[in-house]
A and B are shown apart, each in its own frame.
Chain A
Amino acid sequence: MPEIRNFSIIAHIDHGKSTLADRLIQKTGMVDERMFRDQLLDTMDIERERGITIKSQAITLPFVNADGQEFELNLIDTPGHVDFSYEVSRALASCEGVLLLVDASQGVEAQTLANLYAAMEHDLEIIPVINKIDLPSADIERVKEQIEIDLGLDSDLAVLCSAKKGTGIEDVLEAITELIPPPAGHIDKPLAALIFDAHYDPFRGTVVSCRVSSGKVSQGDTIRLMSTGATYKVEEVGIFRLTREPKDSLSAGQVGYILAGIKTVSDTRIGDTITLDSRPASNPLPGFKEVKPVVFSSVYPVASDEYQSLVDALEKYKLNDAALVYQKDSSAALGMGFRCGFLGLLHLEIVQERLEREFSQSIIMTSPTVQYRFLLTKGKTITIDNPIYYPDPVTIEKAYEPYIRANILTPERYMGAVMDLCTERRGIDSRFNCPTPGRLEIQFDMPLAEVIYDFYDRLKTVTQGYGSFDYDLLDYRENDLVKLDILLNGEKVDALAQIVHRDRARPRAIIACERLKDEIPRHLFKIAIQGAIGGTIIARSTISPFRKDVTAKCYGGDITRKRKLLEKQKKGKKRMKMIGSVTLPQSAFVAVLKSDSK
């Protein structure tokens, strides 16, 4: 029997996780050189296009060490962006150790720290790996110092490598086998397997990814999901190579998948424990911390008759993304839909794109917002995550919004720019810390609403890519919050409303009107766009109508060419949403929030 090691790679975004994973896969001979492509584990198109990892992926690598001992290394690749920390923590629950990757020229970043703490919480063995040592700007000594001081890890254990050049990969593999302990757990005990991921296969039903903590599960067994008590007959078990590879059984310590004809999507719950019906485990495994969404937005089908199809798509999607929460919702302008909670803006964007690509849904998403609290004159407190439910202003005693503590790491020279950005976003109570010479840790307390949009992008811009950002939710604080309505040709569009701080209402309204002017195509009629608080108009813009749009000649008998153009335009229009007499593209609904500074 080969020995098992379960490990994960964690790192700040862009420090080279996916590249290191690629090299480990290549080194262990898992893929033909012919079949190899970069970012091998990022199977979604959207991951490859954006060069980021969204979903954790598991793969089992066979490895024989220098002493000739056989190993089965289960690598769980994880996302790097702050929005997906949840994916990371779930992956960590299935491991005994991690490779903490640090870029040799960038050094320790905010997300490196956040990931390190997550790994410590799970009591995992941590191996620091310094990547990109081939870069001319690499400063290995400085990074080692950061590992000692900032991270409190033993820098002598750090493995040096260049995933891009393929140097040091052997050392990384040896370190995994030497330093990471084998999984505990007995094969003779009752089965307990933790579901850490799932996705829906139209032919096979739900594919459950799990890690077996104790016992053994084989084809033909009857399994029980401990939270619901539902039982299923196991059709197939196996491990993840590049595709699913069936095995006779999965036993304690192994990571793999189970197919059991689970057709009811909602039966599978991430964090649930699988046991055997005939010999159940006495207690379920500790599941995962429930994630709390921080950003909210509504999803509507473009065509109202596609509502049912959206219901099905969301159910199946949710299987593969436990962090998404949603409930029914309706809007005067957009009809029936869902109010969804997300972990952040990138998460929202990814959900939107995946629903469109993988589930062929044409959807409209409204501008994202946070959860607000209002103390009403009658003494009641209400919480709303949708501007539609903004209470009658005369009944509002006090208004509260969520605050975060932003942790920003940046080279000292960008201090001024970062300070400006944070104060512009209503940041207060700044603190500074100087972990290593030349680097600055800046803390700000800020309203969450100010960072959900493009704060991260703006931070990257003002620090020329060097700044990094992470945050913790703090508390709710009182503020003067008003509802900014948007009117199109005099008609209020509920889905375009937002809640803003009174002092910021006017500039925000002006921006929203300008953005909408850019996003809404010209019509045959003039379109007046207005921003209003209560009955007072505080901003406006106008879209002038078409004066002329006609082809002079219909090309003899070639009507086909003309019709094809019309068909294309018609299809484009179908993807837009009709509100009153105005057609709005999907982009308009989030455009109202876009940044003030270009």
Chain B
Amino acid sequence: MQNKQIQIEQDTPSHFPGLYVHVPFCRSKCPYCGFYSIASPTLIPRWLNAFKKEISHCKGHFKEFDSLYLGGGTPTMLDIRDLSNLMDQIFNNFDIAQDAEITIEANPCDLNREKAAAIKSLGFNRISLGVQSFEDNELSFLGRRHTARQAERAMKLLRSLGFENIGVDLIYGFQGQSIKGWINTLKRAIEFEPEHLSCYQLSIEKQTPFVRLYKKGLLSPLSEEMQSAFFLTTSKFLEQHGYTHYEISNFAKNNSFFSRHNRKYWHHVPYLGLGPSAHSFQNSTRWWNIKSVKKYCEMLEGGKAPIDGYENLTEEQLRLEKISLGLRTSQGLDLNKIPDSPESNNMLLRLQDSGFLQIINNKIMPTKKGFLVADQLPLYLLSFAEHS
């Protein structure tokens, strides 16, 4: 028990803010992806200029960042000159801590030795590699431009250049996929001993080609039973191989490899998001940028901040988010976040007895079974209190 408590304290995320930069370009759009990006590189120079203006709008609003995350889109699509230009802008205008976690999302087919070395020299110390699958037929179903071999080559290359924190992104749970096939993909992934793994169960996102196929009946998600089996098998397999299942879809070799940046989203730590569609959060306010490269550029060129909307979160909303985000992490949430009434205490015990969560040292921690129904848990914990 004593040990466990110490471990929880070590797990506490940092309170420094994080900086996110959304690079809204891809060489081609993947049919499952719901993130904003466009497949027309001609706008890159204009976007870079606008980005400089956005930086000048926000510098000074945040103090020292201890994480920087270049996501997208496909940041590795930028050529070395543009990438270095971008990083110069960031480092010249923001205070980035000496030991900051600096991540770039990379597509295997963008990584040649020259590009990978440049990335290293620009200060990136963490790579999130979009592998998605080690089966070529699955890769083509997902609309990926690379093969499994390319992904393996990219991982070898990154290791040889001395990257010590590599994350691999995988997608599972397609129609027709077997658990055996998926475990095989996982095996091939861990041969390279990545420090971090994100395993996302395929979900059908709004306004994607997949949702259109789904509506036409050409694509159907797995049954709940199958999804549940895939999820539990994944967790068990990776834990057996030494990974910690620290968030619904995230695994790390040990807690020093938990994604420092992503954890800020899950713990209400402030973050600044730059680039089209990026979200920011500070002092109970969340705001978001316009979801269009063109409009983003026009607004900045006209001297305006590219903000599309904002909301001030009420105490109630903050609490709801804390609970729902907390229940998505192995760390869980403080017991005192849940209203203290006989009804909600009964419900807590019931959820514990049914194996959805554990209550240890005044913390509510979801089990694997709890992770599987994490969207339902906050409703149970809150509605019961309010019904009384």
Contact = CB atoms under 8 A, between A and B. Distances in A.
Given A552-B201, A552-B249, A557 B373 contact: no
Contacts of B34: 555
B326 interface: no
Contact of A557 (B20, B347, B371): B20
Nearest to B272: A557
Contacts of A583: 383
B224 A563 contact: no
A556 B228 contact: no
A569 B200 contact: no
Given A556-B279, A560-B286, A578 B372 contact: no
B165 interface: no
A524 B279 contact: no
Interface in B337-388: 347, 350-351, 354, 356, 371-380, 382-384, 386-387
Interface stretch (B58-66, B80-88, B316-324): B316-324
A557 B265 CA distance: 6
B265 A546 contact: no
A33 interface: no
A553 B203 contact: yes
Contacts of B75: none
A574 B386 contact: yes
A546 B373 CA distance: 7
A562 B324 contact: yes
B18 to A, nearest CB: 9
B273 interface: yes
B373 A549 contact: yes
Contacts of A567: 317, 320
B182 interface: no
Given A557-B281, A558-B279, A581-B350, A551 B387 contact: no
B350 A557 contact: no
Interface in A555-573: 555-560, 562-563, 566-567, 569-570, 573
Given A554-B328, A567-B320, A547 B227 contact: yes
Interface in A573-588: 573-574, 578, 581, 583
A557 B372 CA distance: 22
B311 interface: yes
A550 interface: yes
B286 A570 contact: no
Nearest to B206: A561
B379 A557 contact: no
A547 B229 CA distance: 9
B325 interface: yes
Contacts of A547: 224-225, 227-228, 372
Contacts of A550: 248, 328, 371-375
A547 B351 CA distance: 14
Interface string A517-556: 0000000110000000000000000000011111111111
A303 interface: yes
Given A553-B203, A558-B288, A566-B324, A548 B372 contact: yes
B276 interface: no
B231 interface: yes
A548 B249 CA distance: 14
Given A547-B228, A550-B372, A563-B321, A556 B379 contact: no
Interface in B187-230: 200-203, 224-225, 227-228
Contacts of A557: 20, 265, 271, 273, 278-281, 286
Contacts of B380: 524
A552 B198 CA distance: 10
Nearest to A545: B373
B71 interface: yes
A546 B227 CA distance: 12
Nearest to A562: B324
Nearest to A565: B375
B354 to A, nearest CB: 6
A526 to B, nearest CB: 10
Contacts of B374: 549-551
Given A547-B224, A560-B279, A566-B320, A578 B376 contact: no
Contacts of A546: 224, 373, 376
Interface residues of B, number: 53
A558 B287 CA distance: 9
A556 B20 contact: yes
Nearest to B18: A557
B387 A578 contact: yes
A570 B281 CA distance: 24
A563 B380 CA distance: 15
B266 A554 contact: yes
Contacts of A303: 387
A556 to B, nearest CB: 6
Contacts of A548: 224, 227-228, 231, 372-373
A362 B20 CA distance: 44
Interface in B212-271: 224-225, 227-228, 231, 248-249, 265-266, 271
B175 to A, nearest CB: 16
A573 to B, nearest CB: 4
A571 B328 CA distance: 21
Contacts of B376: 524, 546, 549
A557 B228 CA distance: 26
A569 B281 contact: no
B372 A559 contact: no
A525 B354 CA distance: 8
A524 B280 CA distance: 34
Interface centre among A556, A562, A567, A570 (most CB of B within 10 A): A556
Contacts of A573: 379, 383
Contacts of A524: 351, 354, 356, 373, 376-377, 380
Contacts of A559: 265, 279, 281, 286, 321, 325
A385 to B, nearest CB: 28
B41 to A, nearest CB: 22
A563 B379 CA distance: 11
Contacts of B378: 566
A559 to B, nearest CB: 6
Contacts of B227: 547-548
A520 B34 CA distance: 32
Contacts of B278: 556-557
A563 B317 contact: yes
Contacts of A552: 200-203, 248-249
A462 to B, nearest CB: 35
A537 to B, nearest CB: 24
B116 to A, nearest CB: 24
Contacts of B311: 560
A160 to B, nearest CB: 53
A29 B123 CA distance: 82
Contacts of A549: 372-376
Contacts of A558: 279, 288
A39 to B, nearest CB: 37
B265 A556 contact: yes
A546 to B, nearest CB: 5
Interface string B21-57: 0100000000000110000000000000000000000
A557 B264 CA distance: 9
23 contacts: A524-B373, A525-B350, A525-B354, A547-B225, A547-B227, A548-B224, A550-B248, A550-B375, A551-B248, A553-B203, A555-B34, A556-B35, A556-B279, A557-B20, A559-B321, A562-B321, A566-B320, A567-B317, A570-B382, A573-B383, A574-B383, A574-B387, A578-B384
Listed from nearest, the 10 A-B pairs whose CB atoms lie closest are A557-B279, A547-B224, A573-B383, A547-B228, A550-B374, A578-B387, A552-B200, A552-B201, A548-B228, A549-B375
Interface of B: 20, 22, 34-35, 71, 200-203, 224-225, 227-228, 231, 248-249, 265-266, 271, 273, 278-281, 286, 288, 311, 317, 320-321, 324-325, 328, 347, 350-351, 354, 356, 371-380, 382-384, 386-387
Given A556-B71, A558-B279, 4 more contacts: A524-B354, A556-B278, A559-B325, A570-B379
